[in-house]
């Protein structure tokens, strides 16, 4: 456990979350500023040596208010850490499953619009996130942030398809839409959820169940009319 321990000049406050590749801690620097320490699990760090640099390189080349800035790297006996800008808010996953939050139409429109604005920025800079999920989107009630760029990659002349982000975004929207669903009927979402035809068709295009969107600009433009 790292709680209340020093990692170089950072004081670890609490554990924020963790996954297969690492654990994230809330910490403070010497000025009292909150930061996030992302500690990589040693076994996964060794196993993925050829891919570990992607996240650092990508974050170092991005400047967006909804994307955490990479502040530095620590590599010592305590482990290998990214030092990341702290972003406020709880994950959508926590709000859904621990706080039992119900996302109303206005919430979904705001959150979806902001995520798409982030995607426009990323795709314009040649980056595909590849892991847009309710676990990786934070919301403080006003502004969302997109975190965890561990799977992010550059499009690299078309070999990484941005349509993967469309599918992930569609899946995230479905989680939010289901939060207010009280029916008992089981089956495919497009048969169960009480959606307008515009919403249903938009989601089907995101998920590849209807002709896919040709660009992120089209995804963004059609969202406003569908939702």
The whole-number average pLDDT for the span 180-187 is: 91
Return the pLDDT at 68.
Answer: 98
Q: What is the pLDDT of residue 92?
A: 98
Model confidence at 77, pLDDT cuts 50, 70, 90, reads confident
3-state helix, strand, coil in the chain (%, to 5): 35, 20, 40
- Taking residues 119-125, report their average pLDDT: 98
DSSP 98-150: TS-----HHHHHHHHHHHHHHHHHHHHTTEE-S---TTSEEE-SS-EEE---T
Q: Do β-strands 144-146 and 6-7 pair in parallel, antiparallel, or remain unpaired? A: unpaired
- Predicted local distance difference test score (pLDDT) of residue 162: 95
27: closest CA among 39, 42, 45? 39
> What's the average model confidence in pLDDT over 120-141?
97
Give the DSSP letter of residue 41: P
* Mean pLDDT within 25-42: 93
Residue 37's pLDDT is 96
pLDDT of 156 higher than 90 = no
Q: Mean per-residue pLDDT for 210-218?
A: 97
> What's the mean pLDDT when you consider all of the chain?
93
pLDDT reading at 83 higher than 90: yes
22 vs 31, more confident: 31
What's the CA gap between 136 and 100, in Å, rounded? Answer: 18
């Amino acid at each position: 456990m790292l709680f209340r321990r020093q990692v170089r000049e950072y004081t670890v406050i609490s554990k924020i979350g963790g996954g297969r590749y690492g654990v994230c801690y809330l910490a403070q620097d010497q000025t009292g500023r909150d930061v996030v320490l992302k500690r990589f699990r040693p076994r996964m760090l060794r196993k993925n040596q050829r891919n570990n640099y992607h996240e650092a390189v990508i974050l170092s080349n991005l400047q967006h208010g909804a994307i955490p800035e990479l502040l530095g790297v620590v590599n010592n006996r305590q482990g290998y850490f990214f030092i990341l800008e702290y972003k406020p808010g709880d994950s959508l996953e926590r709000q859904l499953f621990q706080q039992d939050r119900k996302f109303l139409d206005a919430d979904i429109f705001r959150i979806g619009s902001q995520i798409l604005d982030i995607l426009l920025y990323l795709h314009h800079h040649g980056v595909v996130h590849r892991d847009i999920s309710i676990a990786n989107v934070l919301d403080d009630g006003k502004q969302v942030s997109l975190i965890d760029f561990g799977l992010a990659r550059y499009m690299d002349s078309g070999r990484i398809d941005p349509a993967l982000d469309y599918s992930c975004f569609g899946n995230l929207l479905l989680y939010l839409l289901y939060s207010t669903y009280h029916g008992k009927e089981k089956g495919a979402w497009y048969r169960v959820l009480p959606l307008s035809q515009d919403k249903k068709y938009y989601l089907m295009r995101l998920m590849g169940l209807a002709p896919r969107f040709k660009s992120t600009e089209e995804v963004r433009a059609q969202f406003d009319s569908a939702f």
